Structure formats: C-alpha cells, structure tokens
C-alpha cells in the first residue's frame, strides 16, 4: 500500500454532496483546514482511503457565505469546524457540537485573519517580484522582435538591469535604496573612466 | 432514575497531565453525556510560521508537544521536502525512523506509567519511568537533547549515529526488552489492573470507523490502520509490517495495543540498524517554496496519524502551515466512549486515548 | 490472571545498583554531544552576523561598530543552527548546561581586531 496525495478544487455548493459520497464510499475524514488569503478563506477538506489522501479545496469563502457542516456524516469534524469558526471567522452552520465561538478562549477575535506586518511584507515582495518578472518578459519580447538592427550589448545590459530590478523589488526599501545609490555611483565612475580613456 | 446533574471535570485534575475540561452530565453514577472543552493553552504556533523562515520553523514545530517532539519535526520536514521536491538521502531517512521509533517507545512507556498511576499502581508507574529513562539516555547521547532534539532539518538530519553508538543502542534495547517483558506481564495479567480496565469504555469497530479515529485508540477497536504501513520514507523498506490490532475495543485492549507496539518498535529499530546504508545524512536545500505550491503528508505519531499541510508564497516564509494532531481527531471518539460509563471510570477512559491537548491547540 | 506480578522485579530491585545518583554528592558526566550552551572563540569571529540571522529566537546580537558578540542565554533554545552556519567555525556547543542566574542578562563578548590573520599565516609558515 503506497501513499499518494491529490489536490482538487471544489465549489461551496458541492460540499454536502461530496461529504455524502465520501461517507457512502467508506472514506475516512482526515481533517479540515483554512488558509487566509486576499480573496477570502480557503477551506481544505481531506479524506483518505487506502493510502490515497485527497484534499478538496474550496477557494475564497467570504464572511457572509454560509458553509454547511459535515458533522452529520463525520462527527469528528466538529473540532475543526469550531476551530475554523473561532480562528478564521468562517460561518459554519449546523455543527453537531456547536460551541458558538467559545471553543478556544482567545483574547482576540479571529486571530488567524489578522495579517501580520511580516506576512504583508512577504506578500508585497512576492507581488513585486512577479510584477518585475512580468515586466521583464514583456520588455524582452518587445525588444527581441522588432528592432534587430540594435547592437546586442545594449539589450543584454538592459536585461541585466531588469534582473537587478527584480531582485531589488524583493528587498526591503531601505536596502534597495542603498544598492541603487551604489549602482549609480559605480556607473558614474565607469563613465568618468571611459571619458578619461577616450 | 435520579435527575441529571452536571459535574465539571478538569482542566486541573490529578489524573490529567493536560488541560482538558469536560462537562459530565450524570444520572446517579452513570455518565450520559460528556461535552469536551479545550482552548486553555492555544499558543498560535501556526501563525508563527509568518515570522520564522522554513528552516527556523522546525524548532517551533518540535515544541508543539514535548513527547512527540521528534515526530513533529520529522513530519514538518517531510512536508516541506515534498513542497520543494527535495529527496533525503537514504541514511538520513533510516536515522529519522530510528529516532522516531525510539520516541514511540519512550512515549508508550510514559503513557503506560501514567495509566498505572491513574489506577493507583504506584510501583508499576515507577518501574515504567525507570525504563523510559534509559531511552532518554540514548537520546541524550545521540542527539544531545533529552526532550527536544533539534536533530532534523529540511533536507535530512543534522547528526549521524556512528557504528559504536548504533551497537550501544541495540545493547540498551536488549536490556530494556527483558525488563519490559516483566512489566508487560504486570499490565496484561495482573488482576488489579484487569479489574480496572477490562470492559471499560467500549468502542465498537463501526463507531471507530464512523468517527474517523486514528492511532492505538482505533487499532484497539480492530481498525487496521497505521501510517507506517503506507511505507513513507524508510518505512517502505521494512521487510514486514503488520499494524497491531485488537478486537475488544475496551481500555484493556488499548493498553495491550500500546504495550505490544513497544516491542514492535524495538524490532523495527533492530532491523533498521542491521540494514542502515552508509552515505550522506542530508542534502543542501536551496531556494524558497514556490508561490501557491501545496503539499500534505501524514506521519504516525505515538498517538496516531498526524496530518501536515504546507503552502508556500514564494518567500522564505511559508504562507500556511497546518498540523492536525491525532488527539483532535480522537476527541469525538472519546466523547462516544464516555457515554454510559461509570463516573469512576471517566479518568481511565480519558487516559486511554492518550490525550495531548497542547498538541491539539498548538 | 493473578496478583503481584511485579514481585520479581520489585524484590530484585533491593539487591541491584540504584538507577539514580545521589545528586549533590555524585554528578553524572554529560555525554560528549550534549547541547549545553553555545561557546564562541573570539579570536576567529569575523562579525559577519550570519548566526544572528539564522537564530530562530533572536538570542544572538552582533554589533560591528562596537565589535561585540552577545548572546541572551535565556532566549537561546540550543538548536545549534548558529554552530552549523558559522563560516569560520568559531562557535561550538559545550556539553555543560548554562548555570542558573538570578536575573536575565545578555552575555557580551568583545571581539578583538582581526589584523592578525596574515601574521598567523606568516608565523605558521
């Protein structure tokens, strides 16, 4: 018996049907987890049978959407459904043992939906890198096709700059500014040397 | 029939090492319903993944639980390796299994001791923990820590065990085995133990499967599910692995399954040590997990199957790390097993699921 | 079935060596690989700050201006990442546990100037 994992996507309205089907086919409920994203909360339901672990993902559940409970089929899910409700604020209806938001004794409501500065920075960074990459690809596409006559060196220098920009986008702003300043002085020096040489 | 009364149980209770609160609805001496309440020790460790990079989080992961510390770092590393497509060298995998099985031995012996303490057999408790100490000494010598080992890293393990130490492990385990057989005799044949456990907290096979239970709790109800039989990592190279099951489904069966698993773990370690290949113990891991990449993995902890999930976001921090511990899966089963039991048996039944509430809340 | 199954073990325990040590009088020698506390060889340190970056609990502070390397032993979790990452291998794990203390403090080490590096090579040659 081997072990394999599978990730599938699921629509919210398909959940009760999936739960009934899994129950009928004798799958074991493994867990329910939530991920906080910009688009809402992703819910992942995992079921296992004969070493195959299937994770069904419901993307972007918002606060006003009602998620039906699966505790009618899998009572073990009550822990996780209460947890998702308490930590992520997902509105789950019909939990068999419902604590009504008192499962965890927390100082703060829905702590897992708070976006920490670190996470915000990480997301910004990922976004900037992606943007820089996209811009670079666009530029290289545009640069490659129409103007064949241009010297090769110019385009290569251009892409090197872009690479640097992509890297800088990822750094924290202070450091990036320092690197930029250093690059500028280096370029100036080189220009001066070139001038002397000529 | 008397009228129903609610008796609060825990979170501070002499028999419970863990902060679990139960509202027991009792009629005369019979429990008719139990409502669990946790949430006293939520530490937000899953949130901490945002401020620690994926290499550093391994030290957070192993602090989720003091008893299955190795299991959590192992499971976390396994998941991140799946996320990043890292292949651990064979020797590293073997070493992980050796340590993991050693921690299973120490966890089960610790639990047996606690069980003995719960039914009032103090000297048995002392002898169990005396044996456990020898396993901890092995840990101290091979990893440098007694409880928290910090020996796993993403991509392999940090320390190697040399041939002399491996031989020493075999020698110590042989010594433990002969003493342990006498302890097992006491657990499985002593009348004072059997009076407290046989027929208590019965859970049928149907209930165990319906409630999606895992670990020794499920195996005592004849559910032959053990993650180790799926062959993840070096477990796939075992010549023969059969999950230990029992058909009785009561407290005695759960104790028996755990007691026998200790011997099984010793056999696994001996086989691993006999066959351990030479070579590297880790590979360097470069780069960050890709954005939106997902991975899931399961590991058999001493208490049962533990599920790990990781999602990357392109930076060195993970977007989300999730551990679903065996106890949270078994809470529903515990509530079911408590229904209809005697009030005096409640502590015994709670103990036989081996609850680890701190794991559950993270 | 039967009672007092533990009899043999309990009685033989009377005649065996004790498993414990009489602590304040006797002490156990710690095994060689024990993770006691982090030590630094100040002559080798180049103040690169990698240990500070890798530390999962921000226990290490490296100051280039003041030429100091300091560790908060109350934050340190003995994971050993700093020891593994140090490019000059000037950090090591000492098997003795850090001693107890009545108040929290950081242990500060002064790092001497490293101009010797060439001299060392010369004298070695």
pTM above 0.90?
no
Nearest CA of chain C to the CA of B55: how many Å?
Answer: 9
Instruction: Check residue C86 and report its DSSP letter.
Output: -
Which of A113, A143, A164 lies at the terminal end of a domain, its last residue? A113
Asked if residue C120 is part of any domain, the answer here is no
Range of the domain at A165: 117-197
3-class secondary-structure state, position B333? helix
Range scoring the smallest mean pLDDT among A138-147, A152-161, B3-12, B338-347: A152-161
B49 within some domain: yes
A40 forms beta bridges with A37
* pLDDT score of C124: 46
Assess whether A12 and A105 both reside in one domain: yes
In a shared domain, residues A8 and A103? yes
A109 shares a domain with A43: yes
Residue B1 pLDDT: 58
- pLDDT of B122 higher than 80: yes
Q: A125 vs B315: CB contact, 8 Å cut-off?
A: yes
**Is residue C40 one of the residues assigned to a domain?**
yes
Q: Are residues A75 and A165 in the same domain?
A: no
- Chain B residues whose C-beta sits inside 8 Å of any chain C C-beta: 52, 55-57, 59-60, 123-124, 127, 130, 133, 140-145, 148, 150, 158-159, 179, 182-183, 185-186, 189-192, 194
Domain containing B257 equals 42-361
B192 touches A at CB < 8 Å: no
Q: Test B309 with A2 for CB contact under 8 angstroms.
A: no
Q: Dump pLDDT digits (tens) for B53-67.
A: 888 888 888 888 888
Q: Of A52-61, A97-106, A136-145, where does mean pLDDT reach its minimum?
A: A136-145
How many structural domains is chain B composed of?
1
A51 & A138 share domain: no
Please state the rounded mean pLDDT for residues C76-99.
Answer: 85
The answer on A21 and A36 residing in a single domain is yes
> What CATH number does the domain containing B197 carry?
1.10.645.10
Q: Residue B316 — pLDDT band, cuts 50, 70, 90?
A: confident
Average model confidence (pLDDT) for chain C?
81
Domain of C98, CATH number, reads 3.30.70.3270
Check: CB of residue A42 under 8 Å from CB of residue A67. Answer: no
Contacts of A120 (CB under 8 A, 6+ apart): none
Query: Which pLDDT does position C1 carry in this prediction?
Result: 55
Which of A85, A113, A141 terminates a domain? The answer is A113
Asked whether residue C8 is domain-assigned, the answer is no
Q: Helix (H) and strand (E) counts for chain A?
A: 5, 6
Question: What whole-number percentage of chain B has pLDDT above 70?
Answer: 99
pLDDT at B149 over 70: yes
* Lowest mean pLDDT segment, chosen from A1-15, A95-109, A174-188, B260-274: A174-188
Predicted confidence band at B105 (pLDDT cuts at 50, 70, 90)? very high
Cα–Cα dist C35/B165, whole Å: 17
Domain assignment present for residue B114? The answer is yes
Q: A157 pLDDT exceeds 60?
A: no
Neighbours of B156 (CB within 10 A): 24
CB-based contacts of B89: which residues, under 8 Å, 6+ apart?
Answer: B156, B279, B280, B281, B282, B283
Partner A, chain B 269-288, Cβ-Cβ below 8 Å: none
- The reply to whether C3 falls in a domain is no
Among the partner-chain residues A55, A75, A105, the one whose CB lies closest to the CB of B296 is: A55
pLDDT band for position C125 (cuts 50, 70, 90): very low
- In this structure, are residues A99 and A79 in contact, taking their beta carbons and an 8 Å threshold? no
The domain that holds A54 is classified in CATH as 3.30.460.80
Q: Which of A113, A129, A154 is the last residue of a domain?
A: A113
B19 within a domain of the structure (yes/no): no
Percentage of chain C exceeding pLDDT 90: 0
Q: Does B175 map to a domain? A: yes
- Within 8 A of B320 by CB-CB distance, chain A residues are 33, 35-36
Q: How many domains does chain A have?
A: 2
pLDDT, residue B285, reads: 84
- A33–B333: do the CB atoms touch at under 8 Å? no
Is C69 inside any structural domain?
A: yes
- Cβ distance B297 to A74 less than 8 Å, yes or no, reads no
CB B261, CB B246: distance < 8 Å: no
pLDDT for the residue numbered A156: 45
- Is the minimum CB–CB distance between B322 and chain A shorter than 8 Å? yes
pLDDT at residue B286, rounded to an integer? 83
pLDDT per residue over B275-301, tens digit each?
888 888 888 888 788 777 888 888 888
Q: How far is B174 from chain C (nearest CA, A)?
A: 17
Quickly count: other Cβ atoms within 10 Å of residue B170's Cβ: 15
């Amino acid at each position: 018996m081997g072990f394999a994992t599978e990730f599938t996507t699921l629509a919210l309205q398909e959940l009760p049907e999936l739960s009934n089907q899994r129950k009928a086919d004798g799958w074991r409920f493994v867990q329910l987890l939530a991920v906080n994203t910009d688009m809402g909360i992703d819910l992942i339901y995992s079921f296992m049978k004969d070493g195959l672990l299937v994770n069904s993902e419901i993307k972007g559940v918002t606060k006003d959407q009602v998620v039906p409970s699966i505790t009618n089929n899998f009572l073990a899910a009550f822990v996780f459904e209460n947890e998702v409700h308490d930590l992520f604020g997902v509105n789950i209806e019909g939990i068999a043992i419902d604590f009504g938001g008192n499962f965890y004794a927390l100082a703060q409501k829905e702590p897992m939906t708070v976006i920490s500065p670190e996470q915000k920075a990480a997301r910004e960074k990922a976004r900037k890198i992606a943007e820089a990459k996209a811009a670079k690809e666009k530029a290289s596409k545009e640069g490659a096709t129409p103007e064949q006559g241009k010297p090769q060196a110019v385009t290569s220098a251009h892409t090197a700059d872009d690479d640097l920009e992509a890297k800088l986008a990822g750094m924290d702003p202070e450091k990036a500014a320092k690197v930029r300043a250093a690059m500028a002085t280096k370029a100036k020096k080189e220009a001066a040397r070139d001038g002397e040489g000529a | 029939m008397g009228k129903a009364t609610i008796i609060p149980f825990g979170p501070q209770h002499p028999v419970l090492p863990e902060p679990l609160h139960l509202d027991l609805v009792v009629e005369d001496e019979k429990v008719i319903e139990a409502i669990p309440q946790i949430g006293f020790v939520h530490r937000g460790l899953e949130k901490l993944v945002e401020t620690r990079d994926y290499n550093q989080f391994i030290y957070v992961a192993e602090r989720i639980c003091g008893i299955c510390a190795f299991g959590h770092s192992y499971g976390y590393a396994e998941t991140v390796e799946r996320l990043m497509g890292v292949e651990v060298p064979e020797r590293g995998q073997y070493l992980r299994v050796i340590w993991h099985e050693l921690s299973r031995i120490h966890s089960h012996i610790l639990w047996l001791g606690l069980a003995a303490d719960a039914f009032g057999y103090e000297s048995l408790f002392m002898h169990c923990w005396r044996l456990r100490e020898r396993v901890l000494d092995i840990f101290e010598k091979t990893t440098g820590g007694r409880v928290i080992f910090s020996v796993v890293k993403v991509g392999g393990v940090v320390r190697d065990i040399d041939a002399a130490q491996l031989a020493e492990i075999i020698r110590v385990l042989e010594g433990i085995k002969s003493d342990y057989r006498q302890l097992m005799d006491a657990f499985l044949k002593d009348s004072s133990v059997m009076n407290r456990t046989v027929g208590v907290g019965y859970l049928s096979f149907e209930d165990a499967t319906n409630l999606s239970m895992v670990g020794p709790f499920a195996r005592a109800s004849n559910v032959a599910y053990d993650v180790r039989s799926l062959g993840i990592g070096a477990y796939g190279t075992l010549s023969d692995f059969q999950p230990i099951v029992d058909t009785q489904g009561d407290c005695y069966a759960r104790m028996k399954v755990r007691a026998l698993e200790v011997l099984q773990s010793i056999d696994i370690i001996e086989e691993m040590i006999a066959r351990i290949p030479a070579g590297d113990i880790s590979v360097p891991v470069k780069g960050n997990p890709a954005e939106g990449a997902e991975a899931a993995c399961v590991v058999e902890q001493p208490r049962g199957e533990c599920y790990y999930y990781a999602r990357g976001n392109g930076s060195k921090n993970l977007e989300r790390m999730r551990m679903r511990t065996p106890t949270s899966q078994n809470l529903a089963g515990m509530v079911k097993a408590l229904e209809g039991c005697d009030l005096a048996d409640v502590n015994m039944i709670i103990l036989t699921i081996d609850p680890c509430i701190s794991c559950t809340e993270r | 079935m039967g009672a007092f199954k533990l009899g043999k073990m309990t009685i033989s325990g009377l005649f065996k060596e004790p498993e414990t040590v009489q602590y304040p009088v006797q002490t156990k020698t710690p095994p060689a690989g024990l993770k006691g506390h982090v030590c630094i060889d100040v002559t080798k340190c180049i103040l690169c700050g990698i240990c500070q970056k890798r530390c999962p609990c921000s226990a290490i502070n490296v100051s280039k201006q003041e030429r100091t390397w300091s560790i908060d032993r109350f934050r340190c979790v003995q994971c050993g990442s700093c020891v593994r990452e140090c490019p000059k291998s000037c950090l090591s794990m000492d098997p003795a546990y850090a001693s107890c203390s009545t108040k929290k403090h950081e242990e500060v080490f002064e790092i001497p100037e490293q101009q010797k590096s060439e001299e060392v090579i010369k004298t070695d040659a």
